[in-house]
A and B are shown apart, each in its own frame.
Chain A
Amino acid sequence: MKTLLSIATLLLLTGPLYAQKAYTKNGSISFFSKSPVENIDANNNQVMSVLNSQTGEIQFSVIVKAFHFEKALMEEHFNENYMESTKFPKATFKGVITDLAKVNFTKDGSYPVITSGDFTLHGVTKKITTPGIITIKNGIPSASSKFSVKLKDYEVVVPKLVKDNIAENIEITVACTYDQKL
């Protein structure tokens, strides 16, 4: 009986210990388009992200209309003409850190990793693999990555007339600190 009881206690204790999921609701994603005519950049500070340190799962969800631009008209065109944010309100990434063993979540430091998964943008889902960095500071993990997305792949159509204003490849920068734990 005593052994059974200790198993039960163990189960109760190990449950929360192993459930290593950290999340944030205010991560940041920005993008940058460089072209001879003009540079376009926008920021979104309402990125939702979940990091599971046990399984290596990492997910992002972004409300498209929460991207803010310096020029009001750019923001309007971004939502209306390019991203169609009423039709496709969010962009998501559901993936996994493929080399999770490299990361020691209990020791402060920077760990370069490779992430791969499904990226959904403008209603189109594509498999992508990108390098990123997991940083542990005072036990709190954060993720950062820089990768580029080809607009054509996601059926974002740029009319010929403005094709000099918008880059074909958009550079995306991700920075999320997982300050919430579950």
Chain B
Amino acid sequence: MFKIKFVLILFTGFLSCTALAQDTTDLMSQLEQEVSKDDKNNTNITTATFKTTRLVNGHTVENVGKGVLDFKISHRFGKVNGGGYDLFGLDNATMRMGFDYGITNRFMVGIGRSTFEKTYDAFFKIKLLRQSTGNKKMPLTVSYVPTIALKTLKSLEPDSKDYFSSRLFFTHQLIIGSKLSEQTSFQLMPTYSHRNLVTLVTEPNDLIAIGIGGRQKLSKRVSLNAEYYYQLPEYKLANTTNALSVGFDIETGGHVFQLHLTNSQGMSERTFITETTGKWDKGDIFFGFNISRVFTIGKRG
């Protein structure tokens, strides 16, 4: 009896020794497991759904980070079908210069000036939902972007009264995006646009379009982007076409270069979504680029 007890004691003694003398690697993998469990209980917000805040002409779900200033220069050259005389459009360029700034990681503001119809624009973008994994799972990022544009080109009809309000255009966009994988992201952009003045009584003041866009990364620093805005037939201006754009993002540190082909020469929401007249099959294609340069000027929170 006593012997059995003794063996038991000895046995538990050995057991506890081996349990404590488990080797360093085991202890490390145990730690790693604990930490990865903790990590699963955290919420991981998806980042880098797109390389920058614009896909080609329009917005992506991306924001600039808090305290980051993004200086953007965009060019759209003339129509490629202009022929050799205009060097396939390179003689005629319109450009937009803009500054975007991140007030928080979810809220950014921006201003810009386009040479096209001498237009000033201003917007803000707020992330309503953010795609995440972990404890809180959210499959989508949803951003809301309202834009106001002021056309300052002198009125072509000197007889009609020129109200300030007639020069204003409002666009509201909801951007619903998802990073499907490291390489592939996709988004939908329902858009409502309002203009105070229309040229014909028959034209609607309220225009509605639905955008669809995405990116496919070709390498770590290059991605292929495309966007298409479909205008609802009852809510579009006569003789306009749907904007279709394809392009590449090339990212090098603080710069993103975007090179693209599009049938739209305008770069603010109301122009490319509702006033595009180019037809791809007729060769009304504009070559263009955006250059984005970011500066971190504020402190990160």
A-B contact count (CB 8 A): 100
CB closest chain-A residue, reference B255: A161
A residues with a Cβ closer than 8 A to B are 1, 4-5, 8, 11-12, 15-16, 18-19, 21, 23, 25, 46, 48, 50, 52, 55, 57, 59, 61, 63, 70-73, 76-77, 79-81, 84, 86, 90, 94, 159, 161-162, 165, 182
Known contacts A12-B16, A15-B16: A59-B25 contact under CB 8 Å: yes
A72–B66 contact, CB under 8 A? Answer: yes
Q: How far does the Cβ of A83 sit from chain B's closest Cβ, in whole Å?
A: 11
Q: Does B86 contact A (CB under 8 A)?
A: no
Q: Does B294 contact A (CB under 8 A)?
A: yes
Chain A neighbourhood of B81, CB < 8 A:
none
Chain B neighbourhood of A55, CB < 8 A:
24
Known contacts A11-B14, A73-B294: A4-B254 contact under CB 8 Å: no
B residues with a Cβ closer than 8 A to A are 2, 6, 9-10, 13-14, 16-17, 20-21, 23-25, 27-28, 31-32, 34-35, 39, 47-48, 65-66, 68, 105, 182, 220-221, 251-254, 294, 296, 300
A48–B35 contact, CB under 8 A? Answer: yes
For the complex, give the distance between the alpha carbons of A8 and B20 in Å.
16
* Among A25, A72, A161, contact of B253 (Cβ-Cβ < 8 Å): A161
* Among A57, A73, A159, contact of B221 (Cβ-Cβ < 8 Å): A159
A11–B28 contact, CB under 8 A? Answer: no
> Top 6 closest A-B pairs, CB basis?
A72-B65, A15-B17, A19-B20, A57-B24, A162-B253, A71-B296
B20–A59 contact, CB under 8 A? Answer: no
Q: How far does the Cβ of A161 sit from chain B's closest Cβ, in whole Å?
A: 5
Known contacts A5-B6, A72-B68: A25-B20 contact under CB 8 Å: no
A8–B6 contact, CB under 8 A? Answer: yes
Chain B neighbourhood of A18, CB < 8 A:
21
For the complex, give the distance between the alpha carbons of A55 and B251 in Å.
48
Supply 11 further A-B pairs (C-beta < 8 A) apart from A12-B9, A61-B31, A94-B28: A12-B16, A19-B17, A25-B31, A25-B35, A50-B31, A71-B68, A72-B300, A73-B65, A73-B294, A80-B47, A162-B252
For the complex, give the distance between the alpha carbons of A77 and B6 in Å.
63
